Amino acid sequence: MTDHDQPHLPPPSLWPIGFAIGIACVLTGIVVSTIVAIVGAVIAVVFGFLWIRDVTRPVRTPAPDVEPERREERVEISPAADDEPAEYPRSTFLSVATLGLGAAIGGLITVPVLGFAVLPSFTNQEEQGVELGPIEDFPEGQFVIATYLENPEIGEVTRRTMYIRNNGIEDGIPSFTLLYSRCAHLGCPVQPNGLIFEEEKKVVGEHGAEVTPVLVTGFGCPCHGGQYDTEGNRTAGPPVRALDRAEFSIINGKLVLGPFFSVSEVEGAGARAKIYRYRRQVPGVHVDGPSAWLYPIEVPQ
């Protein structure tokens, strides 16, 4: 048997290794970070494409014209041979099948990850621009309880509660602290530790906002004993972080509720407080430290 009779095996390729590294990054990114998962998906797609191109090269490249060996005896060639379907090596079929199966598995892995990464941008939309009343209803240095209807068309079932304190003017800019009443443990309603002056309640705005002065020494959760200080920092109990906060704006002399965000902790107090803020997360989810790696995907709210 001559060298020409030996089967031509495909040369070694690094593309499968790169493809495997990409899939490994995707699996690691599901636990560690969405960015790592996206980078891994890109690597897997690029190396998978190069691998497919390399494997299918014999099929895509036309065979060179080779002058047949001349023999003394006459060989008859059937004219129907040209009509016979082309035959492919079994190794090529197995490679293509393996790539197809790998692509299907990769799609099942990456599509949910990308869905969870993109879906919260459309689902976690809490109504903003809620007018909470004139800033005169918020005495400087004192907390008030402000409740409002998130969706007035639905009614009381959408009523939410914020604890708001006017911190005064800092560098010519009004400062307010807006704490959400939902506990960072399991979402139970947090209650103020102090006196509530119900007789001074006021109702303002189209969202049915009610503003009630309160003398606060802290906040407590009646469900599981979580405790917070006046800046929303956890002081006792099972909560995993500080109380969520909200941004604000002042329009025509009225306090308007802005987007919500989560907080790991607050250093200082009032207008000079240093707030460690993060993208809003559901209760029970860590936002900083090694524990946050276990919650890389924001759960739709």
User: Taking residues 109-126, what's their average pLDDT?
Assistant: 54
Q: Given pLDDT bands bounded at 50, 70 and 90, which one contains residue 121?
A: very low
**For the segment 191-238, what is each residue's pLDDT rounded down to a tens digit?**
999 888 888 887 776 667 888 888 889 999 999 999 999 999 999 999
Question: Phi-psi region for residue 16, left (φ > 0), alpha (ψ -120 to 50) or beta?
Answer: alpha
Mean pLDDT in residue range 235-245: 94
State how far the Cα of 70 lies from the Cα of 240, in Å rounded to an integer: 85
Q: Which fold has domain 127-294?
A: Rieske Iron-sulfur Protein (2.102.10)
**pLDDT at position 123 over 70:** no
pTM: 0.58
Confidence (pLDDT) at 37: 81
Return phi, psi of residue 49, to 5°.
-65, -45
Q: Considering the chain, what percentage of its residues have pLDDT values greater than 70? A: 70
Residue 272 near residue 175, CB atoms below 8 Å: no
Q: What is the pLDDT of residue 124?
A: 47
Is the pLDDT assigned to residue 78 strictly greater than 60? Answer: no
Report pLDDT digits (tens) over 139-158: 898 999 999 888 888 888 88
Q: pLDDT band at residue 122, thresholds of 50, 70 and 90?
A: very low
Q: Are 224 and 238 in contact (CB under 8 A)?
A: yes
The mean per-residue pLDDT over the stretch 87-111 comes to 67
Q: Round to whole Å and give the CA distance between 283 and 180.
A: 12
Distance CA 242, CA 174 (A): 23
* Residues across the chain: 301
Give the number of other Cβ atoms within 10 Å of residue 280's Cβ: 21
Q: Is the pLDDT of residue 262 over 70?
A: yes
**Amino acid letter, 246:** A
The mean predicted confidence, pLDDT, of the chain is 79
In this predicted structure, what is the pLDDT of residue 9?
Answer: 54
Angle between helical axes of 15-31 and 34-55 (0-180°, round to 10): 160
Say if residue 286's pLDDT is above 90.
Answer: no
List the chain domain ranges: 11-60+91-118, 127-294
Mean pLDDT on 78-85: 53
